[in-house]
Amino acid sequence: MKKFPNISDEDSALFRKAIGDAKPLKQDSFITEKPKPKAYPAKTVADQIAVIKEMIDGEFNSDLLERGDELLYSQSGIQKQTLKKLRRGHYKIEAELDLHGMTVDMAKAALNDFLNQCSARSKRCVKIIHGKGLNSINKQPVLKNKVNQWLLQKEKIIAFCSARPTDGGTGAVYLLLKRE
């Protein structure tokens, strides 16, 4: 062992006498406690499993609309001028349905009731507000896609398109109904 210049021989001898027959350790480090296990992201894994199950079980539609996509449909035989007038908001809105905050099932029932009432009252042009999906999971427009699918199945609807920005823009649609 190397002697330090500021330690006297007497102090060094006294230290050696005090420690006695000490033997140097072969390992100079020690473990105080077991290492902690790595964090397990249980919530993330659960979310990923839920997404995979939804992808397997849920219906896939490659035509799903994004928030800003416009809706546009007309039956064959409808004049371009009629659709143009509808898109520009030239028809008087005779009735309106707001689907905000509804579940898919509630919205479907409300839409069917609304369209039946409009037909019974001979309404020609109506507006449906489905929203843009800002408060939906993943910020995707759930009702917008559903409304689009439902309207395409109705024979009494001859045309529909996204509303003008002042009437809700891509969060609403104008519908042109058949005259009965």
Comparing 119 with 62, the larger pLDDT belongs to: 119
Q: Name the percent of the chain in helix, strand, coil, to the closest 5.
A: 40, 15, 45
Lookup: tokens for 141: 């427009």
Decide: 89 and 126 in contact? Cβ < 8 Å: no
pLDDT of residue 138: 66
pLDDT for the residue numbered 100: 86
Q: Which fold has domain 26-180?
A: Ribosomal Protein S8; Chain: A, domain 1 (3.30.1370)
- Pure H helices in the chain: 9-19, 42-57, 80-88, 104-120, 142-152
Say if CB 142 and CB 104 are below 8 A apart: yes
Residues in the chain: 180
Tell me the average pLDDT across 144-168. 88
What is the distance between the terminal CA atoms of the chain, rounded to a whole angstrom? 110
Cα–Cα distance between 85 and 45 in angstroms, integer? 51
pLDDT tens per residue across span 94-124: 999 999 888 888 889 999 999 999 999 999 9
What local confidence, expressed as pLDDT, does residue 76 receive?
Answer: 84
What percentage of the chain exceeds 90 in pLDDT?
Answer: 19
**pTM exceeds 0.85 for this model:** no
Predicted confidence at residue 143, as pLDDT, reads 84
Task: Give the C-alpha separation, 24 to 35, whole Å.
Answer: 27
Report which of residues 34 and 166 the model is more confident about. 166
Percent of the chain with pLDDT over 70: 83
**Residue ranges per domain, the chain?**
26-180
Helix runs in 121-160, H state only: 142-152
- Residue 174 has a pLDDT of 93
Mean pLDDT in the chain? 81
How do beta strands 72-74 and 157-162 pair? antiparallel
